[in-house]
Structure 1
């Protein structure tokens, strides 16, 4: 397994992997699949030197991606990043998420990141457990802030200082 900076020509696969998560109601608040066109601006905001997006490669196949994004878009939060990890449905539960967090943790110092936040639905117990395994702690609980399919969902913010 290896991690490589994602390139613009990887966006279609990145979007396809993301869209696999939409119907599960576990990892995203998007309720409909997103298009490649709608994600171009989002993708362009990543920078390899501070807020990167990496593709996760297994052999020659992209099996997931992990990113660090700006938190809240204000200069004072410049050393804080929001982490996202999406793994292809057929490759989940094979240790890729753990490898992704270990990789990101090996990169934070050179990126100038001192705090990582993970926004995880309270009912997403596998992701909650994954991040807690790496020392992320609950920093906030936002009760019933998302409505999907007529159901209320709570969001937890887990954080870790480096």
Structure 2
């Protein structure tokens, strides 16, 4: 499948939220346990900057948004300015079509101009598809937090995946 990327616009927020909310019912992708609303996500959306920490949407050949990816500041302290946290979500109808791979390749190509050298991803251990995606793209386990989240009666482990890109640029 061919996809293109563009910076997200506020008018995209309902679709971004809808895609995110699809993952909540799976109970192993996000730590939210109830759907979020568009109004709840407006401040989050406004925190992105095309110059340093962008939010992109993935567009299919028909012009539909089929996913989104964002780079957020890591931990909010100046010494971490070259490190970003990545969030990547795909519409449930488009998973398993290598869009994650295309997205990570796209991100890698844009890091230098953004001044980002490191990316971290917080992934539940139980989300094997995402873990495998990031491992295939040379992310390594940088941390492990056992049973730090509870969804229903299940305790989930958080894996912190990371990659240094400074040598790639």
Give the TM-score taking structure 2 as reference length.
0.95
2:67 corresponds in structure 1 to 64
1:13 corresponds in structure 2 to 15
**CA RMSD after TM alignment:** 0.5
Note the C-alpha offset of 1:97.
0.6
Residues 98-118 of structure 1, C-alpha deviations (whole Å, 9 max, x = no match) = 100000000001100010001
1:116 corresponds in structure 2 to 119
Match of 1:32 among 27, 31, 34: 34
2:79 corresponds in structure 1 to 76
Give the TM-score taking structure 1 as reference length.
0.99
Query: Residue 24 of structure 1: SS of its match in structure 2?
Result: coil
Could you list the runs of 5+ residues in structure 2 that have no partner in the other structure?
Answer: none
Could you list the runs of 5+ residues in structure 1 that have no partner in the other structure?
Answer: none
Match of 2:150 among 137, 147, 152: 147
Matched pairs, number:
162
Residues 10-45 of structure 1, C-alpha deviations (whole Å, 9 max, x = no match) = 000000000000010121000000000000000000
Query: Residue 51 of structure 1: SS of its match in structure 2?
Result: coil
Match of 1:138 among 137, 141, 159: 141
Note the C-alpha offset of 1:9.
0.6
1:106 corresponds in structure 2 to 109
Match of 1:49 among 37, 48, 51: 51
Residues 81-103 of structure 1, C-alpha deviations (whole Å, 9 max, x = no match) = 00011000010000111100000
Asked if residue 156 in structure 1 is aligned to residue 159 in structure 2, the reply is yes
Structure 1 runs of 4+ with >3 Å offset: none
